[in-house]
Amino acid sequence: MRRIGLTLAALVTASTLAACGSSSSGGSTTTPTTGATTPAASPGAFDKTSATATAHSATLTLSDMPSGWTQSPNQDTPKDDQVVNSGLASCLGVPASIFANHGPNKVEVSSPDFNSPSQGAASSTVSEHVDVETTGEVTQEFAVVNSPKLAGCMQSVYGPFLKQKFASDPQTKAAKLGTITAVRASIPSYGDESAGIEITVPFSIAGTNAKVVIDLVFVRVGNLAAQLSFEGVLQPFDTATAATITQKATAKLTAAAG
């Protein structure tokens, strides 16, 4: 679960450019990459080779998106991941290893970013991260997902982090960041366990007020866990489309879990 909202900084940069009327880059076609080949697991050990194949089979692809969507490389930045993960772990009072994308008993596969067709300055993006892990790992992960402190910790961590990002990036330093809010979202029930968080990032630039809304949906099926990020620039992500994509993601998790 290392990527709770971690596309946020890149998204805010993109939204600022959109508010200024700049054009975004076209969606190039990429394929999620696997890690280095893992030696065969010993009996009773967590089999990373098998787990990686399972994670790939459970991850959304462009064919799962609505017609006309494109894909581009995933925008997660390892350095930013580390800063945010450390802050969240400290705030929640949990080990930082819970947010790691690797370890002896866990693998993670990330989808590309899936991008909606042009909507003028507004845009929508979907990304997904699928974990395959032991029962103990996934239990710890969803204890964090369901923590009553999670939304408040997101607010306290992302606010200072994004202000620093805004100030240091030439593309965003002219923008003024408002107060970030994160709240529990009411979502349908998916898989064995599911939860939602909605993050709103208001900002202004050149006298124009705008916002980015990120809906995070967490779904568990057995020892597979997915985080879906539905990101709406200048307008919220369409609820019906998000539900359809989440249903497809849950079906893939179910099939992969066997």
Question: DSSP characters for 81-143?
Answer: HHHHHHHHHHHHT--GGGG-S-STTEEEEE--EEEPPPBTBBEEEEEEEEEEE-HHHHHHHHH
Q: By the 8 A CB rule, do 191 and 223 touch?
A: no
| Predicted local confidence at residue 246, as pLDDT | 98
DSSP letter, residue 219:
E
Look at residue 23 in the predicted model and tell me its pLDDT.
35
Q: Residue 20 pLDDT > 50, yes or no? A: no
pLDDT at 44 over 80: no
Residues 117-132: tens digit of each pLDDT: 977 778 899 999 999 9
The answer for residues whose C-beta is within 8 angstroms of residue 20's C-beta and 6 or more apart is 205, 206
Q: pTM here? A: 0.83
